[in-house]
Structure 1
């Protein structure tokens, strides 16, 4: 290309950037990482402070921690927050702040939360330093436009005059310290709350969840402290338990008003259920659940209490259509713990709607074989049973063929039932 032509093409670049419409510049800046958005200030006069009017901001360690920068991350973080407070113009509707690995957050955060409360914040996500519970300032509870609130590693003590978040539809509290009374009050003062996630490390008193339009609930903690009291629209529930006394685990209380519940996930992973000598877990609930899809990510088939509670919920779900289990068995099964899996013990139960069962981590143990036999015998509408054979990879071919041949002899209530062996790479579906 002639020299003159090259000069002409180069001179067009700044003109094009300068003449972009304001709304196009806004879209470009929103799609860029915060650091790169600030760097656009050098492009032209029109771009110089345009980033200061961004309505969506994400601040994380990439801004204040680099391998070559010798400045203390906490000092650099403080400077960044100060610049935002002094330079930003207009509303901030969505703000994400991840300072989980900072040494400390400092009083600057209180000022910034107050700043957000005065600038129309609607979507707020904050990860506070993980080793120190940050006490939320009262200004957070004056964010009247909040629709989504996601908090990690902090303590909450909302003021007595708090009237609620009238527009909040999603609430996530992870490793948050809060009393049972305040948590109940907070939830009940969010009339539009549709999604709730709670991860409570400490033992709480019973929490009654009063959320008339709640549709999704994820809980990690002491299941016995939860009572779904007023949740007529609740469709999806995921429960992950800590160690618990079997006598305290009352699923009838937990699912008291879950008339619309369709998706249930129960995760006993890394937890133990203790019980006094002679205690017997209930065989079914005093009412039927409307659950259609049930996920059990961690069931030891020789752990009598975990298994008994799982079977209790399965028995109480007559409308079950899909069941997914991740099972584990000991190297040597204890026949005394296998009684709950006997087909005869389910003489009063038929899974009339169950069309698919997925069994992960199948190792060919006696308890697993009895579980397969049970569902084949009690499911007249079963279409297929998917069995993950990853755990059989180390077994000789002769052993595997013998196991498959034994399963093929099991009685099937459904003439359409097909048993499919495959490798699912340890995949389990979660809600």
Structure 2
């Protein structure tokens, strides 16, 4: 029988801290460990015994079975270990990596593929549509099949994010229309959709990644911020008339467009859009290949169409890092005479990212400096610093400047000790 002192000692022991940890905390701890070490935590307490079975990310390599004393053929022990872990696993697997690069013989992995195939996308339950007080909803990596009825929906939802979900065009459009207070919408849809209409009268921010031609803005009178990224690297480039796309965006103020894999107009790019978007103040164009005539025309069309533009950022894209080259492929010149009817009366800041010193880039800078009477700063970020940077700066200094306050800021200024503002 335990002595009184012994009983007092037991009663004074601290509680089991490991068992009292919240499940989410245990999940985070296990995700930081190697698979082998995560499984070893099963001996810590009863609560930890099978917690490793719910891990969503698995990395299988020889660290699972190899030790200095191993004498078994590695593939034998590997199969036994891997099957043991997978058969005890519960829930979805979001990441599975198998690294057996340095083995002379690979075990059969058909059973692994069959096991992973069973871990299909989580199907969103229909009960989610009766959460009438829900205000923010982020759904990642699942499938949505339930069609909400007229009595179902998210009457209080303010923001909705669907990332890598499987959903039909009809259901997506219906889901958006059932959110009358929706202000922020983020869609990252990998699968190409049929045309989906966005009917959201309170929408103010819209980010879309996918096949841009599958989206139609129908009723968005308050939409102020738009980000469009086309993801069709292995497919035919987008053929979509952006003039029609922006026609209903009368309140647009911030616009981000990624030019990669996109054809912005069904036919030849016009000089400007058939209508002005007078509220656009911030324009960010990414992956702009200025050496390509069509892309260059699209960029200039958009810049011309925003008469109240204040901030312009252009990320130049090129497959080569070549400065001051002959630009033999350029057939079209951007002379100032062609912009005699254009003045950027509100443009205050310009950023040129990944600048390479090519002829189209220099011509664009020349135009912006000459046609922007209130320009305060032009930041030029080169792709790489080169020895001829001083020559490029000297040429920029000689360009006509419509604004007496304009300052050119660039790493070249620091590198060569030049202050362009003193050269005017």
Work out whether the TM-score is over 0.5.
yes
**Correspondence for 1:179 among 165, 168, 187:** 168
Q: How does 1:257-406 map to 2 (within 5 A)?
A: 257-269=248-260, 271=261, 273=263, 279-289=267-277, 290-329=279-318, 331=322, 332-334=326-328, 336-339=330-333, 341-393=334-386, 397=387, 399-406=388-395
Question: CA RMSD of the aligned region, Å?
Answer: 4.0
Q: Equivalents in 1 of 2:367, 2:93: separation in Å?
A: 48
CA contact (8 A) 2:241 2:265 kept: no
2:94 aligned to which of 99, 105, 117: 99
Q: Quote the Cα distance in structure 1 between the aligned partners of 2:156 and 2:23.
A: 24
Contact 2:240 2:263 in 1 (8 A): no
| Matches of 1:378 and 1:274, distance apart in 2 | 25
Measured in 1, the distance between the counterparts of 2:246 and 2:13 equals: 63
Q: Say which SS state the counterpart of residue 285 (structure 2) adopts.
A: strand
Structure 2 Cα separation of the partners of residues 408 and 255 of structure 1: 37
C-alpha contact 2:241 2:264 (8 A) present in aligned 1: no
1 CA distance for matches of 2:93 and 2:222? 33
* Structure 1 residues 415 and 215: alpha-carbon distance in aligned structure 2, compared to 1, 3 A threshold: same
1:410 aligns with 2:404: no
CA contact (8 A) 2:129 2:148 kept: no
Structure 1 gaps of 5+ residues are 1-7, 18-24, 50-58, 82-96, 108-128, 424-431
- Indicate the structure (1 or 2) with the bigger Cα radius of gyration: 2
Q: Distance in 2 between matches of 1:274 and 1:283?
A: 13
Alignment TM-score, normalising by the size of structure 2: 0.68
Matched with 2:139 is 151
CA distance in 2, matches of 1:147, 1:64: 37
Q: 1:301 to 1:218 in 2, by over 3 A?
A: same
Q: Distance in 2 between matches of 1:382 and 1:284?
A: 22
The change in CA–CA distance for 1:223 and 1:274 in structure 2 (over 3 A counts) is closer
Range 343-352 or range 330-339, more displaced: 330-339
Matched, 1:422 2:411: yes
Cα drift, residue 309 of structure 1 = 2.0
Name the CA shift for 1:274/1:233 in 2 (closer, same or farther; >3 Å). Answer: closer
User: Aligned match of 2:186 in 174, 178, 197?
Assistant: 197
> What SS is found at the alignment partner of 2:164?
strand
Contact 2:346-2:374 within 8 A present in 1 as well: yes
Q: Deviations over 1:54-85 (max 9, x none)?
A: xxxxx75369999658565654442xx6xxxx
C-alpha separation in 2, matches of 1:98 and 1:218? 28
| Aligned length, in residue pairs | 347
- Rounded Cα–Cα distance in structure 2 between residues aligned with 1:72 and 1:262: 56
Q: Judge conservation of contact 1:244–1:273 (CA < 8 Å) in 2.
A: no
